[in-house]
Amino acid sequence: MTAAVSKNLKDMTFEDFCRTVFDTTKRFEKPETLKGVRVVSTTQYILGPSCACYLAELGAETIKVELPKRGEPMRHTTPFNEPFLYPLSRWMPDKGTGLGFFGANANEYFLSLDFHKPEAIQIMKRLAAKTDVFCENYRAGTFDRWGIGYRQHAQVNPRTIYQWMGGFGGWGPGRNRASYDILGQAQGGCFSITGWHKEYGGMPSKQTIWIMDYWGGAISAFNIIACLYWRDNVSNKGNFLEYSQVHGAQRHLTDFISLYGKTGVVAQRFGNWEPLLCVHGILKCGKSSYPNSKNPQEQEVGFCFVSAYKDEDFVNLCNLINRPDLAKKYPTHSDRVGADAQSAIYPELEKWAADKTKEQAWEEFKKAGLVSQPVWNSKEVSAQEHYHLRGSLAWIDDPTFGDVQTQVLPALMSETPPRVRWVFKPVGADNEYVLAKLCGYSGSHIAELEQKEII
């Protein structure tokens, strides 16, 4: 496709145009956005690795550096680490890699180094001379103390873009504290508005997924790409970047910070309802979608989202549940958005859904012209044609693991689409490739490094 839209594309409907230019079956035939950019990722867990993974899915040559043999901690923090499916390393063939490692390490080359040994520090400096981007999320100042932080790399390569990611930042009262996703959400204020209000128990609710880590990784990748542009088109200079997890978490509070600053009102938990819109929430249905299943999880009842905050939609919803009196009692949005009104409306909706599965409720909502959606689990999401047709879920033939279903960066690009070429590799799988290519080491030198347990 050239810069000018060809005639056959101009004559298409918009749907066919999108289907054609975003054809995900042809993503491997197209160039990659970050082809030619080299990234070294000395990261662990999710925050740092997800940043490096996003860059790798966009085509950057990304090298993940881990400790020898066992690798980084995320390989060992989840169950189902069967070695015959996801081997840990050739040095530890009886151990496996947990599935928690799966979501944030695609397309990367794997180098193992023991940073506590001088020879490993020299290798890192050799890599710095030939690398555009470093991603790192050890405790603030650790790599600087070891002689492989931004200040040392910039002496070797002034064009280095060095992204540090962590809990509280390199300065300030929290700088020495460790952080995790859940701690970031706690300090950032997120848990103050998640979970149920006091009439329903008042407990906060954590995100089971590591949402602040993946969010922080995305923001860090965004910042890196911005710095690549500034370096290559404006300044010819590198950059030192810092991403603090607790700062990223408080950014999620959106209007609640402004609300407090303007009025002194502290936002409260509101469960599965929406404090600014009514009706716009999740209902508990009364029946399981899988009544004959022997799986206890599938025997549980389902949930369904419905939106009817416009006055005419609320009338339709009330008629659907045979409660037109509610539409008369709460005729306008301002009448029903208050906490007392919502506490009266939602229980009546759930009484209507008590003899329905989430799918049955959804069908009724659709017939009434209401925006709605069942709450799907991971099994149901994996089976959805929509995701597979559009390529955000894909089966790939991984060179190590064979057929694997995986997620792909959810961004469609007509000319340079992201892609997953492999999901991850064992620890140190690319030692020989990386050290020979970037450090000029011979096979015997690499073997000596392995014997000394430097790699």
How much is the pLDDT for 284?
96
Q: How many CA atoms lie within 13 A of 178 on its CB side?
A: 3
Q: Alpha helices of 305-384 — where are they, by DSSP H?
A: 311-320, 324-329, 333-336, 339-353, 358-367, 378-382
Per-residue pLDDT, 3: 46
- What pLDDT shows up at residue 15? 92
Which CATH number describes the domain made up of 280-382? 3.30.1540.10
The pLDDT value recorded for residue 80 is 62
Q: What is the pLDDT of residue 426?
A: 94
Domain boundaries, the chain: 25-250+394-451, 280-382
pLDDT of residue 285: 97
220 contacts 240 by C-beta, under 8 angstroms: no
Q: Do domains 25-250+394-451 and 280-382 have the same CATH topology?
A: no
156: cis peptide before it, omega within 30°?
no
Residues of the chain whose pLDDT is less than 70?
A: 1-5, 7, 79-85
Residue 422's φ and ψ, nearest 5 degrees, are -155, 155
Q: Please state the pTM of the whole predicted model.
A: 0.92
User: What would the CATH number be for the domain defined by 25-250+394-451?
Assistant: 3.40.50.10540
CB atoms < 10 A from the CB of 58, how many? 23
Tokens at residue 440, please?
């000029």
pLDDT in tens, 82-131: 666 678 998 988 888 888 888 899 999 999 999 999 999 999 999 999 99
pLDDT score recorded for residue 2: 47
> What per-residue confidence (pLDDT) applies to 4?
56
